[in-house]
Amino acid sequence: MKLSVKEYEAMQSGWRKKINDMEFRGFKAWGMDFTGKDILEVGCGSGYSASRIVRDHPKSYTGMDIMPEQLEKAEALGLQTARFVQGDAADLSRFKDASFDMIVDFMILHHVEGWRRFLEEAFRVLRPGGEMYINDLTRKGVHLWDFFFHWDHAEEPLFSMEEFEEWAGKSGFVTVRRCNYAGLDFCFKFQKPRE
């Protein structure tokens, strides 16, 4: 699902970059390391995270977003080692099995009606031992943002932290780390078990 105009404009702001900086610090403390790895970012937006990730010299970086206007901004950054593709996070069929070492998501899955399918597909495209870092809003958190900012999120894609972790487990992931911020948003580090 595409962002509303109001939310799209907010995502281009400096405060969203500050939040992204906090997400990175937290995940780095959990061992997130891009060096020499094949990385997939779902919901790459305008490329702010991409510009940070490529500084750590991954083997490859692929950023995926459903909104062409976001991808235009990402492409305009001129990140020579980054590849950007348009697509829905619930459909990773363009990627082969076991083609990534790491998947990252910074607050976009509450827009994805097929987030359960995303978890299944993420498991498929990760290599054994691969990691997935997720930071997202809970249903309660989205409702709070909508109350104040009138972004009008659809109800269907929303989830609780418990629902999300349960579906990740059903998809095959093992939870390595988790955090919960007052029930409004959460962070997970998941891993695909080694064979």
Min mean pLDDT across 20-29, 30-39, 52-61 is at: 20-29
Of 18-27, 52-61, 97-106, the one with minimum mean pLDDT is: 18-27
pLDDT of res. 179: 87
> Which parts of the chain are beta strand (E)?
38-42, 60-65, 82-86, 100-106, 126-137, 174-181, 185-191
Contacts of 131 (CB under 8 A, 6+ apart): 31, 32, 101, 102, 103, 176, 189, 190, 191, 192
Backbone angles phi, psi at 166, to 5 degrees: -60, -45
pLDDT in tens, 84-111: 999 999 999 999 999 999 999 988 876 7
Taking the CA atoms of 56, 59, 65 and 69 in sequence, report the sign of the dihedral they define. Answer: positive
> Is pLDDT above 90 for 72?
yes
Domain at 5-191, CATH homologous superfamily: Vaccinia Virus protein VP39 (3.40.50.150)
Say yes or no to pLDDT of 51 above 70.
yes
Mean pLDDT of 177-193: 85
Phi and psi of 96, rounded to 5°?
-70, 160
Q: How confident is the model at residue 170 (pLDDT cuts 50, 70, 90)?
A: very high
